[in-house]
Amino acid sequence: NRKNNLDSTPLSFDFLPLPCNIHLSLQKHSKGQALMDLVCEHLNLLEKDYYGLTFADTDTQKNWLDPSKEIKKQMRNCPWHFAFAVKFYPPDPSQLTEDITRYYLCLQLRDDMLSGRLPCSFVTHALLGSYTVQAELGDYDQDDHGTDYVSDFRFAPNQNRELEERVMELHRNYKGMTPAEAEMNFLENAKKLSMYGVDLHHARDSEGIDIMLGVCANGLLIYRDRLRINRFAWPKILKISYKRSNFYIKIRPGEYEQFESTIGFKLPNHRAAKRLWKVCIEHHTFFRLVSPEPPPKGFLVMGSKFRYSGRTQAQTRQASALIDRPAPHFERSTSKRYLLSRSLDGGEMCMSVCLQCVCVCVYDSCLMNVLQVKGGTQGRDSIVSPLTITAESVTSATTTQVTKTVKGGYSETRIEKRIIITGDDDVDQHQALAMAIQEAKQQHPDMLVTKAVVIRETESPTEEMQQKTQDG
C-alpha cells in the first residue's frame, strides 16, 4: 500500500548545547508536531510549548516549523536543516516547573548574547558570565581551577581579558550556590534586559526609513538605529493584517482620540509580511488568550485560515502543575570549550574523548513487530586499537568503549576513547589532545566530540612518593 510507505530522510539539527546529526524515518505525511515530539522526547523535555523548530527558506530567512502541517509541504526546496530554539520567552522564568526547562532557556540566552541578538553592558555580561561558570564548574577551588580558568568560556561577542577577570572575581563569591540556583539567578537578570525575547524583523516606515519591528510577549515594538521609538501593547492593537508586502496594525483610539487609526509598514516581500503576521498571531494567542481560537470553517471564509494551534501559556502552566516525575538528571553543557587539566609534568597521560551521535527513528505500526522495542536495552563493546602519534619516545594505545541505548523510539550511541600516552620526557598535552580529537573525528565523521578530559597518572604509587620526597 503506497499510503504506508516511509520516507527515510537524513536531517541535520542544531540543538542548543551542540549541533547534531539525526537520521529519521518518518511517515510520508508526517506533520511538524510528530518531529517536535520526537525531539523533545530525546531532550527529556516536558514543558515543550515554549520551544519550537526553525529552518531557513530559500532566501535564508528563519521560519518556524508549523506543527499542524505536513513537514514536506513546508520544506519544499529548503534544506532539511532544523534548529531547536526558544519560540516564546517566558516573562517570568521562575514559574517554569522543571530545572531542565530553565537550563535550555539559559542555553538559548547564552547563544543570544554571544551572537549579539541580546545586547548587554559590560557589567551584565560579567554578571551573567559568572553565573554560567558557577552552573558548569561549581564553587571556586584554587587547587582545581587555578588563577585562569574561564578563558575557554565564551560570554560576549567581543570578549577580552578585563571581562574574564571580572567574571572570575564574581564567581569566587558564589560558595554553596547550586547549578539550578545559578541558572535561576542568570534568568532573573536576563529577563530584565530590554531585548529579552524580542523577535526582530526588517521593515520600513511610511517615509521609507529603515526600522526594525520586534514581536515579544507584551506586544509590538519599533526600533530605529537600535533605539526603541514606539511600543504597541497587545491590548492597544485591534487588528493585525498584511497585503502583499505591506503589514498593518489597527490601533485602539487613545484617551483623547475619537477614531481608530491604522499604521502601515513595508516589508522586503510578501513572504516576509506573512511571516511577521504569523509571528504576531502566535505571540498574541500564546501570551494573551486562555485557549487558542479554532480556525474558521467553510468555503466562504475571507483571508487566511491560519490560527495558532498549540497550547497557550495559561494552558501549559496548568499542564506543568500536573508534572509528576523525579527531577530529571542531566549534564550541563561544555560546548564551545574543552575542559583541560593544568599543565602536566611529564609521565603517563590518560585522555578520555567522548563522542556522541543520536539516531532517531519513527516506525510505522506495521514495522513494530520487527523491532519490538519495549522499555530500554543497552549493550557495551570494548576494543583496543593503536593511536598514531608521530613523536619520539612516545607510545600510545586506545581503548574504545561503545554504549548503545534504545529507549522511547530512538537509539543513542556513545563512544568513549581512553587513550594512554606514555613518554620518557615531558608529554605535550595540547598537541597530544589535538591529535587524539582529530583522529577521533576521522574515525567517526558523523559524530561530535562532546567532552575531553586529561588526567595525569604516574607509573606506580611508590615512584610518586619517591618523586615527592625528592621534590621536598
**Cα(466)–Cα(472) distance, rounded to whole angstroms?**
10
Terminal-residue alpha carbon distance, the chain: 80
- Alpha carbon of residue 333 to chain centroid: 10
- Identify the residue whose cell numbers are 537550563: 103
**Cα(138)–Cα(176) distance, rounded to whole angstroms?**
8
Select from 66, 44, 68 the least CA-distant residue to 55.
66
Set of cell numbers at residue 281 = 498571531
The whole-number pLDDT of residue 303 equals 55
How does 366-401 read in b/e, with b if 16+ C-beta sit within 10 Å?
Answer: eeeeeeeeeeeeeeeeeeeeebebeeeebebebebe
Q: Are 405 and 376 in contact (CB under 8 A)?
A: yes
CB-side neighbour CA atoms (13 Å) of 243: 5
Residues, the chain: 472
The whole-number pLDDT of residue 350 equals 36
The whole-number pLDDT of residue 389 equals 37
Burial-class residue 248 by CB neighbours within 10 Å (0-12, 13-18, 19+).
middle
DSSP assignments along 399-411, one per residue: EEEEEEEEETTEE
Set of cell numbers at residue 140 = 571556586
- Identify the residue whose cell numbers are 615531558: 426
Q: Are 317 and 95 in contact (CB under 8 A)?
A: yes
The whole-number pLDDT of residue 204 equals 96
Which residues lie below 8 Å from residue 256, measured CB to CB, with a gap of 6+?
none
**Cα(325)–Cα(199) distance, rounded to whole angstroms?**
33
Helices 122-137 + 99-115 axis angle, to 10: 140
DSSP assignments along 1-17, one per residue: -GGG-EEEEEEEEE-SS
Q: Where are the beta strands (DSSP E) in 261-342?
A: 261-266
Burial-class residue 58 by CB neighbours within 10 Å (0-12, 13-18, 19+).
exposed
**Cα(141)–Cα(157) distance, rounded to whole angstroms?**
28
Q: Are 105 and 90 in contact (CB under 8 A)?
A: yes
Q: How much is the CA Rg of the chain, to the nearest whole Å?
A: 26
> What would the pLDDT profile of 225-235 be if each residue is shown by its tens digit?
989 999 999 99
Set of cell numbers at residue 92 = 517570568
CA angle 8–13–17, rounded 5-degree value:
150
The whole-number pLDDT of residue 406 equals 55
Select from 36, 24, 113 the least CA-distant residue to 309.
36
Q: Are 12 and 446 in contact (CB under 8 A)?
A: no
Set of cell numbers at residue 238 = 485591534
pTM of the shown model:
0.69
Below-70 pLDDT ranges, the chain: 1-25, 295-305, 333-472
CB-side neighbour CA atoms (13 Å) of 309: 13
> What would the pLDDT profile of 318-374 be if each residue is shown by its tens digit?
999 999 999 998 888 654 443 333 333 333 333 333 333 333 333 322 222 222 223
**Cα(97)–Cα(45) distance, rounded to whole angstroms?**
11
φ/ψ (deg, to 5) at 21: -100, 130
- At 95, which amino acid appears? Q
- Domain annotation for the chain: domains and CATH numbers: 2-86 (3.10.20.90), 93-190 (1.20.80.10), 199-321 (2.30.29.30), 348-371+378-471 (3.30.2030)
In 138-245, which ranges are continuous DSSP H helix?
142-145, 161-171, 179-190
Strand-pair partners of 261: 251
